[in-house]
Structure 1
Amino acid sequence: MRRNTSITLLSVGHACVDVYQGAVASLVPFFTAERAYSYAAVSGVVLAASLLSSVVQPVFGVLTDRWAMPWLLPVSTLLGGVGIALSGVSGSYGLLLLFVAITGAGVAAYHPESARVARIASGGSHSAMGWFSTGGNIGFALAPLMVGAVVGAGGLRLTPLLVLPALAGSALCLPVLRALERGRPAGGTAAAPSGEDDKVSFVKLSLAVACRSIVFMGLSAFVSLYAEQRMGDSTVAGAAALFVLYLGGAVGSVLGGTLAGRWGRVAVARRAYFLSIGAVAGLVFVPGPALYLFVALTSAGLYVPFSLQVTLGQDYLPSRVGTASGITLGLAVSVGGLISPVIGALADATSLRTALAPLIAMPALCWLLFRVLPEPAAAHQGVRAGTVPGNLLADP
């Protein structure tokens, strides 16, 4: 299997998984409309998807550093789909929280191992990892369209149809896993550690990832409701805002990988976060249809650093690539989800605009943290001869 083929399959599979991360936020307006949930209640749904994820993802990162577990890709994909499929079939708020927690666990288990597999398949290429991340962002972007088409047409009772992307994603990853299995040595262990860890830089990077998570997940949970308010209580306006927020991420990830090859990952991420400060401020305060422009700029600015942060984390902790992936990818979702109930409670007490305004500070903190991060002197591939099938890394 050629490298382009393997990355393409993994990217599409990534889209099929991350559509379920986007689906949680996409379902929020429907739960509000059909079940009259408050801001605090719907933010609790986002929290349920993130809380278990915040624990599961780093744990699986540690495990994948010790043992290769490629079977996690299809299994976790199915788990993510099943949770969303069941989320609308019961009117119980408690069961809803349980089902979205199952989705969060499935998505969390997927990412550390998939990042390890993608790093092997890409040969350490930043642009290839950018495409892998873009697959997830496209899944995010498709979520509001998918949910709108299915649930908008027949209500929450049709959520079982949303399992279909999980079935497709599970099937798509199998050819890549078979290629990896043919080239894997006996014993089933992960690649041996290599390189020296820079724990201080990794901690600073993790703080930046956490700040990014807060602003992105906060907007994911509430930008559709905010757009509805700004555009005359139009559910179409809300779905469009969420679609733009996720679609801009696909552009940002590809752009980040391309620019990093010229100016370096740290410099590109730092500049992207600086531009995001003004973009988030415009989203919150500039009135009218210009909201969509600032949503797009915010999305691109927050996603340019996304795949770069994953590979930076792997290079700062070259001896624990799975752990680095689990933390950087886990924080990208879980921390923001944990803060979402605070935003919801503040919105109930004041207004949604007031609750979203503090998010402007988050990209500013990211920018400050990236000002003190070093660019790794050399990329650590984190793979050894004999653990990567040669045909998988063949030139395209």
Structure 2
Amino acid sequence: MADPTQSFPLTGPQPAANAPQTDAGGEKPHLRILWRISLAHFLNDMLTSVVPALLPLVQKLLGLTYAQVGVVVMVANVTSSLLQPVVGAWTDRRPLPQLMPVAFLVTGCGMAALAGMASFAQLLAAVALIGIGSAVFHPESSRVAHVAAGTRKGLAQAIFQVGGNAGQAVGPLLVPLVFLPYGLHGGWGLAAAAAVGTAVLVPVARWVRRRSQLRTMRVASASQPAAYGVLALLVAVVTMRSWIHSGVSSFVPLYQVDVRGVSISEAEVNLFLFLFAGALGTFLGGPLSDRIGRKNVVVASMIGAVPFLLLLPHASGVWSALVLFLLGLVSLSSFAVTVVYAQQLVPGRVGMVSGLMIGLAIGAGGIGATVLGVVADRWGLDALLHGMVLLPFIGWLLALPLPDDRRMTR
């Protein structure tokens, strides 16, 4: 029987012998562009991560149920994710790098709307605007990272993704620094941060428009086979990871405040440690996968999260902070890895595939947050935290059939 792992390449498209070399196939990455796009990713995800970080405060201001809290998370994730593969598929045919700075303008409008929010409906509208801006930003910025990578795909994706995960880590700190002192009017300051993101991306958009290989990337790789079945399995694994991330980000602070009686500030600092460790794991996971294989990193990140989720409901004080840090480090170490893996499974569709990995699967995580909110309403936050240990175990089972990339045709 033929080895199924030999049926498609995992190294991306190879240019023809007489074709001009492009940045995507060149030797050196464009580090200046990569770090600039990483900074923009930092600002974007810092702003979007304010939404779940604000939940304990907004819940008290508006008297929300846990189910309504889950709806807020769902709207945030679905609007920031379901549009991503659509935008990505569209820009695969006609790249539009100028959408990146425009996306930040939309996000800024959402932050301004959040500053004037006075009802649950207005909250959902503000969150939707923030999510739409994020959805437009991600596919094109991921394409920029791909083009600027040269041959260092893992490193480039790690640089790009670490900006986003670092932004997610900093976002919760804005609650005690900005929103607790100034209330929801602190959103005006974050609207100004969105304007900074626009300024950062304008020269990046100009650089991309000068790269002719961006327009020919899809044509150059059209002859490469696509592995959509494996991609679907990878999306399922990423969905489980997103459920873990959404569950911890949304409900652990509520658990610590409502059940353990810690202050909102302490709960947000603990959330920061979880998200900061996730950024660190993202940065380390990319280069590590180049050494030990992408599948191994994905499998290890799933099963490695199990003991820390088991410990989380029983830890307190400094031990709770340590468990959250290690959970974030392990569970998000596969973040950049799965994006590169997916881009190689379906060559030439960088925007669409990036939208699936960064967007649609995370949106499924938002739906999971709604389910977890219903569980918390019915059985309590303590039962929810104990039950979440099933998520990485399911993710591990789903990851086991993934092909070993070290045995692929190169």
How high is the TM-score relative to the length of structure 2?
0.87
Q: Tell me whether 85-94 or 130-139 shows the greater mean CA deviation.
A: 85-94
Instruction: Give 1:346's aligned residue.
Output: 375
Instruction: Give 1:107's aligned residue.
Output: 134
State how far apart, in whole Å, the 1-side matches of 2:408 and 2:100 are.
26
| 2:304–2:331 CA contact under 8 A, matched in 1 | no
Partner amino acid for 1:49? A
Q: 1:356 to 1:78 in 2, by over 3 A?
A: farther
Residues 1:56 and 2:88 aligned together: no
State how far apart, in whole Å, the 2-side matches of 1:290 and 1:255 are.
23
Q: Deviations over 1:95-123 (max 9, x none)?
A: 11011011111111211111111110112
Residues 1:80 and 2:111 aligned together: no
Q: Deviations over 1:119-144 (max 9, x none)?
A: 10112520121111000011101101
Q: Which blocks of at least 5 consecutive residues in structure 2 are unaligned?
A: 1-27
Q: Tell me whether 277-286 or 90-99 shows the greater mean CA deviation.
A: 277-286
Partner amino acid for 2:168? F
Instruction: Give 1:249's aligned residue.
Output: 278
How far apart are residue 151 of structure 1 and its match?
0.8
Question: What value does the CA root-mean-square deviation take over the aligned residues?
Answer: 2.2
Residues 1:136 and 2:158 aligned together: no
How far apart are residue 378 of structure 1 and its match?
9.3
* 3-state SS of 1:202 partner: helix
How far apart are residue 62 of structure 1 and its match?
1.0
Partner amino acid for 1:151? F
How far apart are residue 311 of structure 1 and its match?
0.5
Q: Deviations over 1:243-287 (max 9, x none)?
A: 112111111011101211211111122112211111122123334
State how far apart, in whole Å, the 2-side matches of 1:380 and 1:337 are.
36
Pairing partner for 1:38 from 25, 47, 65: 65
Partner amino acid for 2:137? Y
Partner amino acid for 2:105? L
State how far apart, in whole Å, the 2-side matches of 1:300 and 1:119 are.
24
State how far apart, in whole Å, the 2-side matches of 1:330 and 1:72 are.
17
Q: 1:379 to 1:112 in 2, by over 3 A?
A: farther
Instruction: Give 1:385's aligned residue.
Output: none
Instruction: Give 2:23's aligned residue.
Output: none
Q: Tell me whether 73-82 or 240-249 shows the greater mean CA deviation.
A: 73-82
State how far apart, in whole Å, the 2-side matches of 1:378 and 1:19 are.
38
Partner amino acid for 2:340? T
Residues 1:305 and 2:334 aligned together: yes
Pairing partner for 2:324 from 274, 295, 301: 295
Q: 1:99 to 1:324 in 2, by over 3 A?
A: same
Instruction: Give 1:388's aligned residue.
Output: none
Pairing partner for 2:55 from 8, 24, 28: 28
How high is the TM-score relative to the length of structure 1?
0.90
How far apart are residue 331 of structure 1 and its match?
3.1
Q: Percent identity?
A: 32
Q: Deviations over 1:149-183 (max 9, x none)?
A: 11111111332221122111111122222222223
State how far apart, in whole Å, the 1-side matches of 2:175 and 2:315 are.
28
| 1:67–1:189 CA contact under 8 A, matched in 2 | no
Q: Deviations over 1:60-90 (max 9, x none)?
A: 1211221101112111122123213312312
- 1:253-332 equivalent positions in 2, closer than 5 A: 253-332=282-361
Instruction: Give 1:176's aligned residue.
Output: 204
- 1:77-226 equivalent positions in 2, closer than 5 A: 77-125=104-152, 126-184=154-212, 191-192=218-219, 193-194=221-222, 195-226=224-255
Partner amino acid for 1:294? V
State how far apart, in whole Å, the 1-side matches of 2:125 and 2:389 are.
32
State how far apart, in whole Å, the 1-side matches of 2:357 and 2:409 are.
17
How far apart are residue 231 of structure 1 and its match?
4.5
State how far apart, in whole Å, the 1-side matches of 2:328 and 2:369 are.
18
| 1:137–1:247 CA contact under 8 A, matched in 2 | yes
Partner amino acid for 1:345? V
Instruction: Give 2:30's aligned residue.
Output: 3
State how far apart, in whole Å, the 1-side matches of 2:409 and 2:147 are.
12
State how far apart, in whole Å, the 1-side matches of 2:318 and 2:259 are.
9
How far apart are residue 242 of structure 1 and its match?
1.4
| 1:231–1:237 CA contact under 8 A, matched in 2 | no
| 1:272–1:305 CA contact under 8 A, matched in 2 | yes
Partner amino acid for 1:115? S
